């Protein structure tokens, strides 16, 4: 698998998962809150904080026609333009947000949605980009973004395998092989039945790329489980408090929850470990409590070993149980008391 490098972190096999705190709309219109979110994400263990770069006018039309109404889900009853008015991160904040992230030592990047936003972020010297699930079929945009020759993390929610193939192909054909994919269920919030985490391994095998999870589900079960499925990136919406109402608050994690998720992810990575049959010191110590062959009745010198004077019991200081048939009928060279382990040195050849 071809790894990608973001600043000083490599994303790929044999590396810890790269964990992204998605701010999205959780600033709720306050630049001060946005700055606090960056600090809180750093303290919670995130590697990166992400924003989104669009305006209502760049992403949709100010129209009340039926096509621009949302009739189901978390944002039911909203008009697209008014929803994006509430959710967007003002562009004039983003330079200061990036500077704050750099000051405290957390990566910063963004999701642009059109060429104009890419140009803006290029002027900010953003190091890498996110492609949202909703943009994966926007081939002209992907071509433009790929030509900037910066790492791209692309969500695949709603996409067919053919659409993912088309998107990967256009990015590669435009000279950019610094790509990672995210499995994603583009529902807000997502439910476990729709997560299909097995796709993580299939995407990795199909495209030979780092794969992760863009997680809109509640809690951390999906994120931690995905680590065992091979995920190398976790993206999760992050807020200071779900009590601060905004379009994304209901499915975002608060700092303590995010911190616990990061700790669980790191513990899962340690538990997954590597293929290694050597024993740890603790395992070696525990081996003495295995079963082995012990003398259960006194045996006199030159007396035969029988099923009546030995038994397979704990602890493990005697011969291994696999030698049971070999020792039956053999004679001992000296007296052996009940409770002694049976060992080769006291058995006649």
pLDDT tens per residue across span 142-187: 999 999 999 999 999 989 999 999 999 999 999 999 999 999 876 6
Q: Can you tell me the mean pLDDT for 271-289?
A: 89
Percent of the chain at pLDDT exceeding 90: 80
pLDDT classification of 72: cutoffs 50, 70, 90: confident
Checking if the pLDDT of 75 tops 80, the result is: no
Query: Widest CA span of the chain, in angstroms?
Result: 102
**Residue 207 pLDDT grade (very low, low, confident, very high; cuts 50, 70, 90):** very high
Q: How confident is the model at residue 269 (pLDDT cuts 50, 70, 90)?
A: very high
Q: Residue 146, SS3?
A: helix
**Dihedral (C-alpha) 105, 148, 52, 266: value to the nearest 10 degrees?**
-50
Within a 10 A sphere around the Cβ of 73, how many other Cβ atoms? 10
Enter the pTM of the model: 0.86
Lowest mean pLDDT among 53-62, 156-165, 190-199: 190-199
CA distance 127 to 182: 19
Which residues are within 8 A (CB) of 332 and not within 5 positions of it... i.e. 6 or more apart? 299, 300, 301, 302, 303, 305, 346, 347, 348
Q: Mention every residue, 6+ apart, whose C-beta is less than 8 A from residue 33.
A: 26, 27, 240, 244
Stronger pLDDT, 70 or 326, i.e. the higher one: 326
pLDDT band at 86 (very low <50, low <70, confident <90, very high): confident
Strand-strand pairing, 292-295 and 310-313: antiparallel
Span 294-346, pLDDT tens digits? 999 999 999 999 999 999 999 999 999 999 999 999 999 999 999 999 999 99
With 0-12 / 13-18 / 19 or more C-beta atoms within 10 angstroms meaning exposed / middle / buried, residue 233 is buried
CA distances from 172 to 69, 127, 144, 145, 182 (A): 36, 18, 12, 11, 17
Domains of the chain listed by start with CATH number = 15-272 (3.20.20.70), 281-346 (3.90.1210.10)
Closest CA to 248 of 78, 44, 61, 66: 78
pLDDT-derived band at 83, boundaries 50, 70, 90: confident
pLDDT, average across residues 230-238 = 97
Please tell me whether the peptide bond between 104 and the residue prior to it is cis, using omega within 30 degrees of 0.
no
Say if residue 16's pLDDT is above 80: yes
What is the pLDDT, as a whole number, of residue 8? 87
Work out the mean pLDDT of the chain and round it to a whole number: 94
Find all residues with CB under 8 Å of 21, minimum gap 6, and list them: 37, 41, 44, 46, 48, 49, 50, 236, 238, 258
pLDDT of residue 188: 65
């Amino acid at each position: 698998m071809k790894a990608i490098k973001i600043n000083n972190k490599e994303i790929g096999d044999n590396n810890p998962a790269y964990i992204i705190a998605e701010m999205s709309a959780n600033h709720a219109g306050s630049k001060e809150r946005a700055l606090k979110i960056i600090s809180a994400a750093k303290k919670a263990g995130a590697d990166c904080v992400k924003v989104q770069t669009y305006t209502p006018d760049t992403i949709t039309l100010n129209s009340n026609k039926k096509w621009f109404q949302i009739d189901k889900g978390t944002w039911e009853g909203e008009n697209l333009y008014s929803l994006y008015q509430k959710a967007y991160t003002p562009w004039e904040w983003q330079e200061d947000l990036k500077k704050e992230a750099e000051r405290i030592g957390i990566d910063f990047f963004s999701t642009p949605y059109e060429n104009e936003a890419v140009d803006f972020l290029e002027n900010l010297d953003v190091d890498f980009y996110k492609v949202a699930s909703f943009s994966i079929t926007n081939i002209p945009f992907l071509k433009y973004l790929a030509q900037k020759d910066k790492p791209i993390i692309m969500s695949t929610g709603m996409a067919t395998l053919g659409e993912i193939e088309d998107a990967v192909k256009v990015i590669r054909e435009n000279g950019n092989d610094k790509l990672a994919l995210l499995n994603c269920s583009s529902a807000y919030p997502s439910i476990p039945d729709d997560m299909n985490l097995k796709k993580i391994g299939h995407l990795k095998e199909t495209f030979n790329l780092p794969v992760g999870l863009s997680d809109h589900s509640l809690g951390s079960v999906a994120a931690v489980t995905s680590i065992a499925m091979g995920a190398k990136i976790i993206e999760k919406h992050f807020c200071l408090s779900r009590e601060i109402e905004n379009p994304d608050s209901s499915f975002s994690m608060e700092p303590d929850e995010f911190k616990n998720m990061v700790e669980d992810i790191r513990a899962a990575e340690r538990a997954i470990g590597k293929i290694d049959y050597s024993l740890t010191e603790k395992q070696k110590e525990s081996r003495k409590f295995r079963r082995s062959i012990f003398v259960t009745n006194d045996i006199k010198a030159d007396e035969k070993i029988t099923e009546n004077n030995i038994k397979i019991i704990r602890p493990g200081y005697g011969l291994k149980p696999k030698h049971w048939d070999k020792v039956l009928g053999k004679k001992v060279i000296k007296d052996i008391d009940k409770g002694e382990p049976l060992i080769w040195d006291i058995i006649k050849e």
